[in-house]
Structure 1
């Protein structure tokens, strides 16, 4: 086949070039996918090592200790509040016992009649 009258075109050569380009494209895509996977693994490893490094720093330990102390102080405060609230439960329990005793006396006096 010729374009115009002066340039001969070898169709099989163009098809071979196209096949080579497709193969090269596939190989490049596979290579880039592999590189991307390796970069993601490297990024994950780097992140993990940074987290380990941060957790071993004295500041990190101090912050964790401070947070634990604050939580413990909060827990103690809540326990104190519960203790105060439970004091009223003792009074209510005494009232319930008195009511039960009065009901028992009333019940026994009704049964005698």
Structure 2
């Protein structure tokens, strides 16, 4: 077959070229589908790992906050107990002061 009687065309060569193009197109489609599937799996795995990291981080922070709250509550309780104990020291300090004044007065009278 010739076009315009100037260029000879080999039909079998064109058919082979078309078959090769169809095979290449099919292989490219398969490759893109496989790539798409792998990318979806990678995205899914990344999302799962981020969720696990966030939940672990949040749980860890929550645990630390709970421990700090417990320690603060314990500290407040101990401070309250110490304040109650110190109230009796004030009364004892007044008694010691009164005794000292009495001893000083007695010492002045004896001289």
Could you say which TM-score interval applies, normalised by the shorter chain? 0.5 to 0.7
Question: Aligned residue for 1:28?
Answer: 28
Q: Is the counterpart of residue 2 in structure 1 residue 2 in structure 2? A: yes
d(CA) in 2 for partners of 1:33, 1:12? 31
d(CA) in 1 for partners of 2:10, 2:27? 26
d(CA) in 2 for partners of 1:54, 1:61? 10
Q: Give the conservation status (yes or no) of the 8 Å contact 1:55–1:61.
A: no
Q: Is the counterpart of residue 41 in structure 1 residue 72 in structure 2? A: no
Per-residue CA distance 1:60-105 (angstroms, 9 max, x = gap): 753xx99xxxxxxxxxxxxxxxxxxxxxxxxxxxxxxxxxxxxxxx
d(CA) in 2 for partners of 1:36, 1:19? 26
d(CA) in 2 for partners of 1:20, 1:7? 23
> Normalising by the residue count of structure 2, what TM-score does the alignment of the two structures yield?
0.52
1:59 shift after superposition: 7.2
d(CA) in 2 for partners of 1:55, 1:17? 56
d(CA) in 2 for partners of 1:31, 1:48? 26
* RMSD of equivalent CA atoms: 2.1
Q: Give the conservation status (yes or no) of the 8 Å contact 1:54–1:60.
A: no
> Normalising by the residue count of structure 1, what TM-score does the alignment of the two structures yield?
0.52
Unaligned runs of 5+ in 1: 67-113
d(CA) in 2 for partners of 1:11, 1:58? 69
Q: 4+ residue stretches of structure 1 with deviation over 2 A?
A: 58-62
Indicate the structure (1 or 2) with the bigger Cα radius of gyration: 2
Question: Aligned residue for 2:17?
Answer: 17
